[in-house]
Amino acid sequence: MALLTLTTVLMATLGLGWLLQWLPARGQPKPTYPQRAPFLGGGSPDTHAWNRYHIRYYPMTLLLIAFEMEMMFMYPWAVVFVEKGAMAVMEMGMFLAILSVGIVYAWREGVFRWQ
């Protein structure tokens, strides 16, 4: 029931946001071609914006995936943490220590410099 309610809140607000955009602008004519040229500070675009683009920070996104997988284990771990005590601390400490070595290595390799 809780998830159903949340879904209805999500969908209803989505509909509201869409209506707020659509209702006031529904009768408007389409803007002219000069008006529809993307703003480039005075220049005119000669390509699509959707070109091949080198995302310089992509190694960082790979590092994130390693940590995101770790988060998946961390949620149930948080619930039993107090009950398990020192054992839970050691287990997650070891896991985090290994992942931290990854951060240090990535830092040394210049992953976070993004140039």
Partner 1 sequence: MILDQLILPWLLAWLMVGLGAYLVAVLDRLLATGSARDGSVWLAPLASAAWLMTQQATTTEAPDAPAWRLAPALYLALAATGLALVPWSPTLVGVDLATSLVLWGSLEALATVVIFLHGWSANAHLALIGAYRYVALGLSYLLISMFVLIGVALPAESLRLTEVVAAQTSLWHVVSQPLGLPLFLMVGLGLTFWGPLDLADSTDLSGGTAVERSGPPRLVWALARAAMLVAFSAIAATAFLGGWLGPWLPGPAWLLIKSLAVLVALLWLGRRLPRFAPERCVTLMWVVLLPLSFIDLIWAGAVALWMA
**Interacting residue ranges for partner 1, rule: CB under 8 A:** 1-3, 5-6, 8-18, 20-25, 28, 30-31, 33, 35-41, 45, 48-50, 53, 55, 57, 60-61, 63-64, 67-68, 71, 74-75, 78-83, 85-86, 88-89, 93, 96, 100, 103, 106-107, 112-115
Minimum distance from residue 97 beta carbon to partner 1 (Å): 10
Three-state secondary structure of 17-83: HHHHHHHHHCCCCCCCHHHHCCCCCCCCCCCCCCCCCCCCCHHHHHHHHHHHHHHHHHHHHHHHHHH
3 vs 7: CA distance, rounded Å: 6
Minimum distance from residue 70 beta carbon to partner 1 (Å): 9
Minimum distance from residue 22 beta carbon to partner 1 (Å): 7
